Structure 1
């Protein structure tokens, strides 16, 4: 059942990224968090996210706008390192407090609260119509890159901010998708280089089968997303995802997950 859940989320999450410019990391990270500590879940999600974006590069990469990639991607790489280092520091902070429910102990940590607040914030992009339509002047692209990179390194949630900024870059649909994919790859490489230490420390405890399952299903989702799903609306799906993210955020912040 664990593998089925991961496979389904990776498949549909990857397919949806062709519409929204984000989705795979948002959906997959909470699922990985059911089986791994939150910092490891973010790192594993980053690996799947990067491999999937590299695969999407083979489908759409040639249509990326180089100028936009440089203006947005440069700051994104720098701030992705910063966000990832802060995540590492937060994971070393002692639990803020603990409590028991029905003889089960739960720990509330700084990193869980931080990620929970970020998840709530980014879920608003799916639930509030005005935020869905946010458009920001292109002169602020470097600022958008910095914000997207920072939050990508800290929590893995880079796509919502990236989409909000790139939507005003006057790109056609194909260039918008391809440019976002290239920038996402930049951020993923930067943050994974920081997460690598924690991943290597897992050693034999790392569930490689689950990681491979998520990656393969993400590839399949990306393929069909590019081929068949371009005309399907994601408004309803965005609302469902937003609600689920808020529920997960409260459970994570409370130390239950």
Structure 2
């Protein structure tokens, strides 16, 4: 069953997240976790995520806005380590409510609530006409990187914040996608380096055949996403991203994600 479900999730999520810049890991991790222990599922997801971003980078590299990538990406990298460092010290003390749904326990936390609020705040800039044409001055890019990296380190959801911020800096659709990809790739490299010790612990239990199949399926999703991007406008991409961010934020705030 895992050889059917996981590749399908990888393909669809990869095609969708080609535009949004986030969500592959969010969708793929639960699919892996259905069939493997959580530590193995995290390792499997990280490998597929990294390889998928590498493939995307090969396809869109010529459209990268390097100035924005560095202004945003470097602070994101630095503050992701700070966020990760603080993670263990606050996660056990910020649960504000729990509830049960379909025999599963979900936790609503202060941290996820803050990230959800920020995501909806940014997304509304794309949906409210008076705010739609507002753009962030380039000088605020490092602040966006700090927020994305810090909360990404704390909660693992830096991709949504990154996309929400990059939507408002005046990038073309190609540059928006490509610049988001290189920043995500930078984050992936840092995460992979941190995860190396965990990989060594579970390397004997990793299903490399499934990793290859899931990665290939994700590549197919990227390929078709890259073809489709030529046929849609930046306005369409912005609306898709805004909608996905709000759905993501609601799930995050409710503790589902």
TM-score scaled by length of structure 2: 0.73
Q: What is the CA RMSD across the aligned residues, in angstroms?
A: 4.2
1:67 — aligned with what? 67
SS in structure 2 at match of 1:228? helix
1:206 — aligned with what? 206
- Give the Å deviation of 1:69: 1.1
**Which whole-Å CA distance do the structure 1 matches of 2:84 and 2:149 have between them?**
9
2:143 — aligned with what? 143
1:15 and 2:28 aligned: no
Aligned length: 247
2:26 — aligned with what? 26
1:158 and 2:162 aligned: no
- Give the Å deviation of 1:220: 1.0
231-240 or 30-39, which deviates more:
231-240
Matches within 5 A, 1:227-246: 227-228=227-228, 230-231=230-231
5+ unaligned residues in a row in structure 2: which ranges?
Answer: none
142-151 or 231-240, which deviates more:
231-240
5+ unaligned residues in a row in structure 1: which ranges?
Answer: none
1:220 — aligned with what? 220
- Give the Å deviation of 1:137: 4.0
**Which whole-Å CA distance do the structure 2 matches of 1:76 and 1:24 have between them?**
19
1:181 and 2:185 aligned: no
Contact persistence 1:27–1:241 (CA under 8 A): no
Using a 3 Å threshold, how does the CA distance of structure 1 residues 127 and 42 change in structure 2: closer, same or farther?
A: farther
Q: 1:48-74: per-residue Cα shift (whole Å, max 9, x none)?
A: 222111111111101111111110111
**Which whole-Å CA distance do the structure 2 matches of 1:207 and 1:90 have between them?**
33
Q: 1:87-146: per-residue Cα shift (whole Å, max 9, x none)?
A: 57789x7xx9xxxx9xx99898xxx9689768866885899756x969644322112112
**Which whole-Å CA distance do the structure 2 matches of 1:90 and 1:37 have between them?**
25
**Which whole-Å CA distance do the structure 2 matches of 1:105 and 1:18 have between them?**
31
- Give the Å deviation of 1:24: 1.6
- Give the Å deviation of 1:227: 1.0
- Give the Å deviation of 1:27: 1.9
**Which whole-Å CA distance do the structure 1 matches of 2:247 and 2:104 have between them?**
26
**Which whole-Å CA distance do the structure 2 matches of 1:38 and 1:122 have between them?**
28
Using a 3 Å threshold, how does the CA distance of structure 1 residues 15 and 135 change in structure 2: closer, same or farther?
A: farther
**Which whole-Å CA distance do the structure 1 matches of 2:159 and 2:222 have between them?**
16
TM-score scaled by length of structure 1: 0.73
